[in-house]
Amino acid sequence: MQCVILAAGRGTRMEELTSSVPKPMLMVGGKTLIEHKLDALPDEVTEVVFVVGYLGNVIREHFGSLYAGKKILYENQETLDGTAGALFRTEHFLADRFLVMMGDDIYAKADIEQCIAAKDWALLVQQIPHLRRAGDVHLGADGNIEDIIEGDKWEEAGIASTNMFMLDTRLFSQPMIPKQKGSPEFGLPQTVVAASHALNIRLEPVFTDQWTQITSPKDLTVAEEVIKKAAI
């Protein structure tokens, strides 16, 4: 099985922390954010594709072509045209089912395994008291994901998208969807939702309480505490 890690952005909200390294290479608990993901991947994932952009050479030089027995491949996203734009660049690498993860957030191994176990497509989600900038996941009457609404909802509670997907190559038969109307960026959540409806593929929510979102410097401190507690 393959895993795509989207790691092309700088992470401008991290301020000076990303002046010399891309956001996914920031350190938390003695490891880079990317290493936390790689170390959580189960054995059935044998190949990882990094989509790199800003300071992508830092990632290439650090990981090379092999990590813990997993083959590492690279795709460059020269034009930052969104998360769907990033994933669609990797189509030529992918076969059958694959995972997609954001390069900066931290995911638990058990959650990754649950997503892999899904029958069709899946998205890891988390019920949170404040959505902040997370995608707002709406479920249908059948319990599957009906829609994902983007936008700043700082104080609203809801089901947040973690942007970790379990998908397959049928996705590439469908068009990319703009993140918002008129946006030059194509959003992966919007594209996956539209494709799931068009192809009649179930998009299953996999609930977690272990997702750690990294959007600002203070989130790194929170992540340090989460990792310390998990190690006790």
Q: Tell me, what CATH number does 146's domain have?
A: 3.90.550.10
User: pLDDT-based confidence at 232, cuts 50/70/90?
Assistant: very low
Listed residue (65, 34, 47) closest to 2, CA to CA: 47
CA distance 169 to 1: 12
**Per-residue pLDDT averaged across 13-23, rounded?**
83
Give the per-residue pLDDT at 217.
Answer: 86
Tokens in use for 77? Answer: 């996203």
CA distances from 76 to 60, 87, 132 (A): 11, 11, 29
Rg (CA), the chain: 17
pLDDT band at residue 176 using 50, 70 and 90 as cut-offs: very high
119 phi and psi angles, rounded to 5 deg: -70, -45
Q: Which residue has the higher pLDDT, 166 or 19?
A: 166
- pLDDT tens digits, residue range 90-148? 999 999 999 999 999 999 999 999 999 999 999 999 999 888 778 899 999 999 999 99
- Which residues span the domain enclosing 120? 2-231
pLDDT tens digits, 36-92: 999 999 999 999 999 999 999 999 999 999 999 999 999 999 888 999 999 999 999
The region, left, alpha or beta by phi > 0 then psi within -120 to 50, assigned to residue 82 is: left
- Residue 46 to residue 62: CA distance in whole angstroms: 19
Structure tokens at 172: 């590439």
Q: Stretch 208-220: mean pLDDT, rounded?
A: 88
Q: How far apart are CA 190 and CA 174, in angstroms?
A: 12
* The total number of structural domains that make up the chain: 1
> CB neighbours (10 Å) of residue 212?
23
DSSP letters along 2-20, please?
EEEEEE----GGGGGGGSS
Helix-then-strand count for the chain, H and E: 6, 12
H or E stretch at 197: helix 188-199
Q: Report the distance separating Cα 213 and Cα 134, nearest Å.
A: 9
Q: Provide, rounded to the nearest whole percent, the portion of the chain with pLDDT above 70.
A: 97
> Residue 143, Cβ neighbours under 10 Å: how many?
10
**Residue 6's beta-bridge partner residues?**
51, 102
Tell me the whole-structure pTM to 2 decimals.
0.93
